[in-house]
Amino acid sequence: MAQRDLTPTSYMILGLLTVKDWSAYEIAEQVGRGVAELWPSADRQRYNAPKILLERGLVTASTVTKGTQRSRTVYSITDEGRTALSDWLATQATPPALQFEGMIRVIFANQGTIADLRTNLTTMREQATRSRSLFVSHAQRISAPEAGTLPQQNHLMALANRFMIGHFNHIAEWADWALEETADWPDTVQPATTHRKRTVSTLAHSIEDGSS
C-alpha cells in the first residue's frame, strides 16, 4: 500500500535506490541535479528523507569505510520499499502546482515602477533561458548509448526533458511578448484604462487558446 504521507522526494529516493545503493551524499547530489526546477521542495527534503525511509523500514543503512576515507552511510532499498514505490506509482498524482515568484511580481506590479516591472520580465526571461540550457545539457549528456547516471531510464528522462525544455521555452517566449506589450506603457497604473482595448484583446486570445 502506498504511504501517502511520504513526499514525492521520498519516492524519488526510493526510485534511485532501485538502481543501486547510494550514500547519503550521493542521494542528495542526485536529487539536486535538475530536480529543483521540477520539485523545488526536494532541495530542502533530500537530506532528511532517507532517515524517514529508514524509520519506515523502506530502506536499510550500513556504514562503509574504504581505506583511509571517512566512513559513510550507504542506503539500500528493501522489499517493502519497492512495494511502496510500486503502489505509489499506481495512485493518482496530485495536480501540478506552480511556484513562480516572478509572476507574483507581475500581478502586483502596479504598486511599483514600470522600470521594476520590465526589469523583472527581463530577469524572468534570463532565468528561463539558463534553466532551459541546463535541460539541454542533460539531453546532450544522456543522448549517447549507455550514457547518463541512470541509462536504463533514459527513455523516461527524454519524456520529462522534452516537457521541461518546452516549459522554459514558453516562459522565455512569454517574457519577450510581455516586454513588447509593455514597451509603450508610461507606468504600471494608467494602462488599466488607456490600454483597455488591448487588454480585452489579450484576454480574448487567452480564452481562444484555452478553449482549443
DSSP of 18-58, one letter per residue? TTS-EEHHHHHHHHHSS-TTT-TTHHHHTTTHHHHHHHHTS
Residues of the chain with pLDDT under 70: 1-4, 34, 42, 67, 146, 148
pTM of the model: 0.85
Mean pLDDT of all residues belonging to the chain: 91
Q: Please give the domain boundaries of the chain with CATH numbers for all domains.
A: 8-89 (1.10.10.10), 101-211 (no CATH)
Beta-carbon contacts of residue 106 (< 8 Å; ≥ 6 apart): 117, 120, 121, 178
Do 45 and 7 touch, CB atoms closer than 8 A?
yes
Q: Which residues contact residue 56 at a Cβ distance below 8 angstroms, ignoring those fewer than 6 apart? A: 3, 6, 80, 84
C-alpha cell at 154: 533514459
Tell me the helix, strand and coil percentages in the chain, rounded to 5. Answer: 65, 5, 30
**pLDDT tens per residue across span 143-155:** 887 676 778 888 9
Cα gap 158→132, rounded to integer Å: 14
